[in-house]
Structure 1
Amino acid sequence: MSKFMQNKIQPLEEFQETVTSNPFSFSDKFQYYYERFITRRSSFIFLNLLIIFLFAYLLLLSLHLIFYQSSWQASLQGESLQWHVFLEMLTPARLSVLRAPPWSLLLLSVITTFVGFGFYSLLIAYVSAKTQETVNLFRSGLGPVIEQNHTLILGFDNRIPRLIQELNYSNHTKQKHPVVIMFDLEKSVMDQQLSPEIESFNRVRVNLASGEPSRLNSLHRINSVAAKSAIILARCSHTASLSEREASDVRVIQTVKALYKTQKTEYRYPIVAEIFDPKIREMISALDESIITYDSYELIASILVQSAIFPGIERVYNELFSFEMSEFYFYPHVPENSRFGDLICHFEDGVPVGVQHPNKQITMLPSVDYIFNQGDEVLLIARDDQYIKYSAESLYQSTTYYSLEHPRVFSSQDVLLIGWHYLAPSIIRECCRRLPLGSTLTIVTPENSEELMRVISEIESTDRFKIIHEHRDPFIFDELEYIDPFKFDTVILLSKGDHIDSEEQMDADTLMLVLLLRRLRDKQIGRQISTRIVTQLFRPENEQLIDNQSPQTGDPVDFVLTSKTSTMLFTQLSEEGDMVQTYKLLFGECTYEIALCPITDYVKIGDHSLSFIDLYMSALCRGEVCIGFKSDMMEIRTAPYSGMYLNPPKDQAFPFSENDELVLLRLNSDRE
């Protein structure tokens, strides 16, 4: 070895000798282990106090026995010295028991009392600190949540109050349904935002927990293994940048995987996750049928277009998605060999619309002669599952009044789309799938974008309808007047563009457009206006800023769509995960649709009254299902129906008029 290396190694050996020759002292080791002991758990502090008390008691008792045994025997008159010393540590009143004690004994008694005071002062301090620690732990949301059969909401945004409201409606039991909300925020912050909005919900019990939902220890802390369902919200809105949306998808995927790992293999409850990227949604959903992923705003685009085609259809979806009135249910107790066309007469509450087979596949609008097999479940629209009951005997009889007229052919429509943001491509694709043949879609934007031109080039290749693009600024009144929105059948209002990264700013743009349209309408003196105007707002609270009670005198907006609709669907899917196939058929695959059609296309209107069973049978003969009707009858126009009555009583007669419409579930191809 070289001298250089020897010189380098020698100091290290000297250092090792120094360390070995100077070990830690006993007091250092005792202090180290003592500090580790009392800081491991708060209960160890109490144990430490108890040990100190016992040591002090034994020491003081020994002093009394050694030095003053004869004096104590004379003073206590037969009382136990051990008991007296213990009581003397509790209260100074024991000093009065001594009779003519020597001053040294009196001094020892005083010392004993002060030692007792010191111990109890420490005990009071410990109890206070422990109480404060418990309160702080509760306020921080870091404590365990011991709930069973609860709904998890992992995420936090302005949709939380609506989610809790829907869960409140869904609970028809006397016990409060537990809901646990977890997000990486302080509990006090979440509580401050939620408390004013959820304090009136008396059917749910809300627990707030602070923590990262994608971590296993956080999920164990809220007892996720015993949950009933889970809703995972995106970490940002659609207005966020691409990088923020990708980061949100990553977090949601991590949360799904962590939540899936905590579940029991024999019991997989529904996990509803909001993911932006369609490829990731498809990949995650393929892991297990209990994992449900979708983009809430694609649903909004579909409903927005449908509400433009069928005025009032939004009220149908609001009822179907909510737990307040009628919604979709599966009912398994249908006897084998039952005929689908006869089921309507065997349910007092419920409208049969389809069949779920044992492999969880759904057949909407099965043949009238379809025979139920073992394991088949009927898909119904009913008020609540507790009211669904199959009757072995037929409860109703139908007298069908067929119409001699042919069903109405849907005429083409001229639709105007004002503005452009991330929802616009989905709206255009929905128009392509749902607008009648020969329709025209005019897009007016203040600026061009690559995405706009790409979507237009894709749609122009189809011959289903015509698309026109006008480069004008609709936020300038003269430009808007030149466009003349009121010559179109329907106008869809959006904000300026994707360059705006705030939902409030985008809603402000939409509200500005509403004001400009109101000003333009007021200039149309003597002109008959029948244009239907629909729009979308990101913030549900901004809906109150639009005065659309009377579109003829107030704001000229017939319908405002907000995230409340998608929130209701979120909640329903978490309660009944198998229902996702139903909504995929209605929205994703667009195979079926809910439409409004004139009642005169299905039954004859005369002096006679008709019951709902008559409407159902007339539609069923055409391969469609009637689930309700739209009417101007006084009892139907008022709340809670607002002119739309789903799942009405089957034997009640209604005085229909020629202006009434049926709410039908039908094949989308029927409109081509």
Structure 2
Amino acid sequence: MRFTKLRIRQKILFTLERQLVKGAHYQLLLVAALIGILSLVGGLLVMPSGPPTSRLGESVWWAFLRLSDPGYLGDDEGGWRRLISTLITVAGYVVFLGSLVAIITTWMNRKIRDLEQGLTPVTANNHLLILGWSNRTIHIAAEIFQSVGRIKRFLLRFGTSKLQVIILSEEVGPFQMQELKDHPMIGSRASEIVLRTGSAIDREHLRRVDSLNASAIIVPSLAYGRRELINPDIETIKCLLSLNAEASRYPGHKLPYVVAEIQDEFKVAAAYRSYSGPLEVVGSNTILSRLMAQNIRHPGLSEVYNEILSQIVNNNLFCQQFPELVGFTIGSLKKAFTKAVILGVVRNTKGESTRVPDLNLPENHLLASDERLVVLAKSSADLVWNSDLLSREPIDSQTRTPLPVEEPAETIRVLILGWNEHVPSLIKELCSYEEESYFVRLVALRPLKEREKELQFLNEPQKRVTLEHVIADYIRESEILRTEAGSFDHIVMVSSDRMEEEEEADARTMVGYVLLEEVLDKAPKRPSVLLELADPSNESLIRRFQAEVIISPMVLSHLLAGIALQRDLNSIYNELFTVGGAEIIFREPAAYGISPGEISFQEIESLAAVHGETVLGLALDPLLHRTNSLLLNPEKKQKRPLTENDRLVVLTTVY
């Protein structure tokens, strides 16, 4: 038979503990009960001392007054009454004042911590919602705050006057808010951003940020901390399914517009199937690989793309409808827009679901009522035209003499240092260029079996791309010498995805690049070098070297923010970056018959139109113009001196 020991003291303490942990209400009730007991005991002890405490009610009230206010202590007479009054007053300091202050202070501190964690649901309408905190989130918020012209039209479209940005993050605290304040494009406006704790795949947390009433939702992908079975794409698709499920609770509720980032291009179709509302999916690996491939084919394009993609720097792309200009030719409109460059049009097919861009149009194309102009301008204020320059006279386009896009005859040698999720997409993109052949040497620590698994799409014989795998660490001088870097035409250094922090990944890339520079200084021919970085603050550390830089989070932030504010931009970017169709290239001025000397941009535009191309700007000799060597959409009438080393930035059509 088991013996049960009587533990009264432990039982009482345990019961008190369970009541105290229930919260401030139970703690206050316990203190009130203790005050009542002390008042009753004190009243019983003081009753024998005579009037005015001879009755129980009066004596208990007497004790309560001493317990709650020590000022009554000097009114008592008699030794016994003074002793009891002193004991009760001391107990009042400890129980009444001390306990109440402790309980209220603890409750206030807990409430403040809860508020700092962002657990309170928000009530908002037509707000802009960012789901998830990644290395893109802060830059997305900065892009949105700086896109003044687009924001005004965005707010006007939803009938609201004030921009409200809400960010849902798994962790919310002083660190996140300080990061927002430290960004130069946000600064003091960080207080306008609402942070809420939660996960984008949790329906309860989506309600916390009032997701269904948002005007636009941006779902950036995580670049680091990837797990084997749950990757960022799975979380993004689960988020889209959760948004759909939330809308099903309110029949007839209009789903918000969503811009989602998907890393794996094979999951893009699944993302579109997961959400029944307006959705634009950005394939990040595909976009970055296309940018790298274009930069390999045309070194120097990274600076052009950085300016076109950004909503902050110099010129931006605008897609806008101009009902007053319907029926005018593209050639006439190009002359009338004196502060902007017209790239083409975007039209809708199948209602609003599909947008088809048509860039680098013939001069005699008539603007239709269902077409929106794609314009390169410094701001929305420059989207104006000179009515005196508009003409409805037909333009003869038969005199156009198209120029061939230069295609290399020999095999292009590319050295790729490092490995991440962009590399397979880059190889796939190079395979799509039918008129070009490549020899690619892959130097990384990634085991050969893992590389072959990620390159399974190359199982079919590839005649245009030849791969050579080398397992080596490029930050070792002896191994980078073995790569024979000087014998290649192009070198690409990618940011490692095996580092937990982007600063560590960039540190490896930059150290490897410094070692590479020592090798290239001794090479008879210098190849073009393209670096991929993850942290924009590291770009300044290598600015003095001769290398182009692509900052992946910045590029993707530009894309997500821009497409959120202008949905048409997604189709335009896809058209510009894919093989064939409209492409941005560099041309020598001599290709248009331009000799070194002074010429206006307006004259260059006319010469480009003769060859069926659209000139976007000038790429001046970097040796003469170390800063501002790229001039997109310059002043059209101003004459500028051109040298034989200057190039033209041209939008052409590749068939």
Q: Scaled by the length of structure 2, what TM-score is found?
A: 0.74
From 183, 198, 211, give the equivalent of 1:224.
Answer: 211
CA distance in 2, matches of 1:202, 1:188: 15
Hey, what does 1:450 align to over in structure 2?
452
> Aligned to 2:586, which of 596, 612, 616?
596
Report the RMSD for the aligned CA atoms in angstroms: 5.1
User: C-alpha offsets along residues 455-489 of structure 1, whole Å, 9 cap, x if unaligned?
Assistant: 5554625xxxx433445567587886676443443
In 2, distance between residues paired with 1:50 and 1:457?
76
Deviation at 1:565, TM superposition (A): 1.7
Aligned counterparts of 1:323 and 1:288: Cα–Cα separation in 2? 29
Aligned position for 1:426: 425
Alignment correspondent of 1:648: 634
Tell me if structure 2 keeps the 8 A contact 1:336–1:371: no
SS of structure 2 residue aligned to 1:613: helix
Offset of residue 71 of structure 1: 6.4
> 1:602 & 1:459 partners in 2: Cα distance?
40
Matched, 1:258 2:242: yes
Q: What one-letter code is carried by the residue in structure 2 that aligns with 1:426?
A: S
* Corresponding position: 1:667 with 2:653: yes
Distance 2:470 2:35 in 1: 88
How many angstroms apart in 1 are the aligned matches of 2:186 and 2:549? 27
Specify the code of the residue in structure 2 equivalent to 1:486.
G
Matched, 1:613 2:602: yes
C-alpha separation between the residues in 1 aligned to 2:244 and 2:223?
A: 22
* Distance in 2 (alpha carbons) for counterparts of 1:273 and 1:262: 17
Measure how far apart 1:624 and its partner are: 3.0
Cα displacement (A) at 1:268: 4.1
Match of 1:272 in 2: 259
Q: 2: distance between equivalents of 1:141 and 1:58? A: 43
Does structure 1 residue 295 correspond to structure 2 residue 283? Answer: yes
Q: Secondary structure at the match of 1:369?
A: coil
Cα pair 1:473 1:479 within 8 Å, conserved: no
Residue 200 (structure 2) aligns with = 213
Deviations 1:62-112 (A, max 9, x none): 99xx9999969xxxxxxxxxx99998776443566x6x9788998998899
Q: Which residue of 2 aligns with 1:153?
A: 130
Per-residue displacement from partner, 1:352-399 (whole Å, max 9, x unpaired)?
2232335342332244333344453222222233x15444723699xx
- Matched residues in 2 for 1:251 and 1:52: separation? 51
SS at match of 1:416: strand
For 1:234, the equivalent position in structure 2 comes to 221
Determine the structure 1 residue equivalent to 2:568.
578
Quick check: 1:171–1:177 contact (8 Å CA) kept in 2? no
Listed as ranges, the matches of 1:237-248 within 5 Å are 237=224, 240=226, 243-244=228-229, 246-248=230-232
Separation of aligned partners in 2, 1:500 and 1:259: 32
Q: Find the counterpart in structure 2 of residue 78 from structure 1.
A: none
**Aligned residue identity for 2:263:** F
State the partner residue of 1:17: none
The alpha-carbon deviation at position 410 of structure 1 amounts to 0.4
For 1:432, the aligned partner's letter is C
Residue in 2 that maps onto 1:380: 375
Look up the match of 1:162.
139
Report what 2:58 is aligned to. none
**In structure 1, how many angstroms separate the alpha carbons of the residues matched to 2:403 and 2:73?**
105
Structure 1 residues 265-414: aligned runs within 5 Å: 268-286=255-273, 287-288=275-276, 290-324=278-312, 325-335=314-324, 337-341=326-330, 342-347=332-337, 349-358=339-348, 359-360=351-352, 361-365=355-359, 366-385=361-380, 387-391=381-385, 393-394=387-388, 407=403, 409-412=405-408, 414=411
Q: Distance in 2 between matches of 1:130 and 1:430?
A: 59
Aligned with residue 415 of structure 1, among 394, 412, 417: 412
Matched position secondary structure for 2:311 = coil
- In the TM superposition, 1:542-553 aligns within 5 A as 543=539, 547=542, 549-551=544-546
Per-residue CA deviations over 1:530-562 (Å, capped at 9, x if unaligned) read: 4212233455555555x45243xxxxx444554
Counterparts of 1:63-102 in structure 2, within 5 Å, are 91-93=69-71
Q: Secondary structure at the match of 2:188?
A: coil
- Quote the residue 1:126 is aligned against: 103
How far did 1:405 drift?
Answer: 9.4
CA contact (8 A) 1:332 1:378 kept: yes
Instruction: Give 1:504 deviation, angstroms.
Output: 7.3
Q: Deviations over 1:148-177 (max 9, x none)?
A: 654433333334443344334335789996
Cα deviation for residue 215 of structure 1 reads: 1.2
Task: Name the CA shift for 1:111/1:247 in 2 (closer, same or farther; >3 Å).
Answer: same
Determine if contact 2:300/2:548 at 8 Å carries over to the other structure: no
Q: Percent identity?
A: 21
Q: Which residue of 2 aligns with 1:79?
A: none
For the structure 1 residues 43 and 582, does the alpha-carbon distance in structure 2 shift closer, same or farther, using more than 3 Å as the test? Answer: farther
CA contact (8 A) 1:357 1:375 kept: yes
CA distance in structure 2 between the partners assigned to 1:586 and 1:455 by the alignment: 24
1:460 counterpart (462, 487, 498): 462
Cα separation, partners in 2 of 1:195 and 1:377, compared to 1, 3 Å: closer
Cα separation, partners in 2 of 1:228 and 1:113, compared to 1, 3 Å? farther
SS at match of 2:616: strand
Task: Quote the offset at 1:314 in angstroms.
Answer: 0.7
Distance 1:197-1:185 versus aligned 2 partners, 3 A rule: same
> Aligned residue pairs: how many?
603
Per-residue CA distance 1:187-213 (angstroms, 9 max, x = gap): 356557766557962344344433222
- Cross-structure match for 1:75: none
**Alignment-mate amino acid for residue 284 of structure 1:** A
SS of the aligned residue for 2:636 comes to coil
Q: Which residue of 2 aligns with 1:519?
A: 518
Whether the 8 Å CA contact 2:588–2:648 is kept in 1: the answer is: yes
**Corresponding residue of 1:8:** none
TM-score by length of 1: 0.72
Distance 1:607 1:498 in 2: 48
Q: Which amino acid aligns with 1:356?
A: V
CA contact (8 A) 2:136 2:553 kept: yes
Q: 181-190 or 503-512, which moves further after superposition?
A: 503-512
Instruction: Name stretches of at least 5 consecutive residues in structure 2 with no aligned partner.
Output: 1-10, 54-60, 153-160
Local SS of the residue matching 1:357: strand
Is the 1:302–1:587 Cα contact (8 Å) retained in structure 2? yes
Measure the CA separation in 1 of the matches of 2:507 and 2:50.
90
Unaligned runs of 5+ in 1: 1-27, 73-82, 552-556
The 3 A distance-change label for structure 1 pair 504 and 198 is closer
Tell me the secondary structure at the aligned position of residue 412 of structure 2.
strand
Deviates more, 1:247-256 or 1:536-545: 536-545
1:28-107, aligned counterparts within 5 Å?
A: 42=24, 48=29, 91-93=69-71
1:623-652, Cα deviation, whole Å (9 max, x unpaired): 432222212499x9365xx31122333343
Instruction: Kindly provide the amino acid, as one letter, of the partner of residue 424 in structure 2.
Output: P
User: For 1:655, what is the secondary structure of its paired residue?
Assistant: strand
Query: 1:302, CA displacement in angstroms?
Result: 1.0
Does the residue aligned with 2:319 lie in a helix, a strand or coil?
strand
Q: Cα distance 1:494–1:588, how it changes in 2: closer, same or farther (>3 A)?
A: same
Q: Aligned partners of 1:201, 1:86: CA distance in 2, in Å? A: 55
- Deviation by residue 1:428-452 (Cα, 9 ceiling, x = unmatched): 23223458x3x43112246585358
1:493–1:236 Cα change, 3 Å? closer
Indicate if the aligned counterparts of 2:145 and 2:186 stay in contact, CA closer than 8 A.
no
